[in-house]
């Protein structure tokens, strides 16, 4: 049977690094291809790297058919579950795969939900009959992925990590996503950098790990400053225990004028005495 390599399926999961591919090749050359390749008809579903290595060196391999596949969505879900069960992938890859699975499940649920029946206009004086309430449908394991907690559990991550990975997927520039995939920057730092414009993300990723860390630090500091409470000016108010001063009376004003005139007369006398001494 001629095996067909579907390029879309081959690229659906992140490829092995050169080091990982070399290690797999050495293992197959030493021990042979121990795991069977999984096929859907004649389409290769799992084992692209093993198939390439065996073909390159003319080594034998086994195949097995998965008869449960009915659509490409079934194939994608199976591939995701297979890779989520492996320990060699990073936390970021786990989150990306779990988010893909959630999208597929959501699309299936939307297609399987029947539209509401078309309404029929009833006579104006006829009371509307209450619609019978449908029996609740059982929640499948895949439907449970709609919750963040279930999604995190499927990927063996925390809920917060799933949120950060989703932000990187939606807002991250390709250069930033490549950096977090390669382990150059942590998920937390990459999520912070993803808040920046795409040009700044790309520049930080091109500058390397240190610049990505500094960019994440600047973003966090800016958010802290923006969220810090601003002290509003408070008008000084008189002490509630101090009684307000009484308004001035006419007699009081006249007395104050007399006191000021007496002070002026005294000052004039002192000034005249000083002038006489100088003369």
Predicted local distance difference test score (pLDDT) of residue 242:
53
Residue with tokens 């936390």: 91
Structure tokens at 31: 């021990």
Instruction: Name the fold adopted by 1-67.
Output: 3.90.1530
Whole-number Å distance between alpha carbons of 183 and 161 = 15
Give residue-wise pLDDT tens across range 121-148. Answer: 444 454 444 444 444 334 344 444 556 7
% of the chain residues with pLDDT over 70: 75
- Whether 120 has a pLDDT exceeding 90, the answer reads no
Q: Which of 83, 226, 176, 205 is nearest to 165 (CA)?
A: 176
Mean pLDDT, residues 9-14 taken together = 91
- Residues in contact with 92: Cβ distance below 8 Å, sequence separation at least 6, in sequence order: 165, 168, 180, 181, 187
Whole-number Å distance between alpha carbons of 213 and 220 = 11
Mean pLDDT, residues 237-248 taken together = 59
Predicted local distance difference test score (pLDDT) of residue 95:
92
Domain ranges of the chain: 1-67
Rounded to two decimals, the pTM is: 0.65
Predicted local distance difference test score (pLDDT) of residue 171:
95
């Amino acid at each position: 049977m001629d095996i067909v390599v579907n390029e879309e399926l081959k690229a659906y999961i992140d490829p092995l690094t050169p080091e990982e591919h070399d290690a797999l090749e050495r293992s197959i050359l030493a021990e042979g291809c121990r795991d069977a390749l999984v096929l859907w008809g004649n389409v290769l579903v799992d084992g692209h790297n093993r198939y390439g290595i065996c073909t390159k060196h003319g080594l034998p391999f086994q195949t097995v058919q998965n008869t449960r596949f009915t659509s490409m969505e079934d194939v994608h879900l199976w591939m995701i579950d297979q890779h989520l069960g492996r320990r060699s992938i990073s936390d970021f890859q786990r989150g990306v795969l779990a988010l893909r699975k959630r999208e597929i499940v959501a699309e299936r649920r939307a297609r399987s939900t029947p539209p509401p029946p078309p309404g029929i206009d009833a006579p104006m004086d006829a009371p509307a009959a209450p619609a019978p309430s449908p029996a609740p449908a059982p929640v499948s394991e895949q439907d449970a992925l709609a919750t963040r907690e279930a999604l995190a559990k499927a990927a063996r991550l925390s809920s917060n990590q799933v949120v950060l990975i989703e932000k990187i997927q939606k807002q991250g520039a390709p250069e930033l996503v490549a950096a977090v995939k390669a382990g150059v920057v942590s998920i937390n730092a990459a999520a912070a950098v993803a808040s920046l414009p795409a040009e700044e993300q790309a520049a930080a990723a091109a500058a390397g790990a240190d610049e990505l860390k500094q960019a994440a630090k600047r973003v966090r500091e800016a958010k802290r400053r923006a969220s810090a409470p601003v002290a509003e000016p408070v008008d000084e108010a008189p002490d509630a225990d101090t009684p307000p001063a009484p308004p001035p009376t006419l007699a009081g004003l006249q007395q104050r004028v007399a006191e000021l005139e007496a002070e002026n007369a005294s000052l004039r006398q002192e000034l005249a005495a000083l002038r006489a001494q100088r003369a």
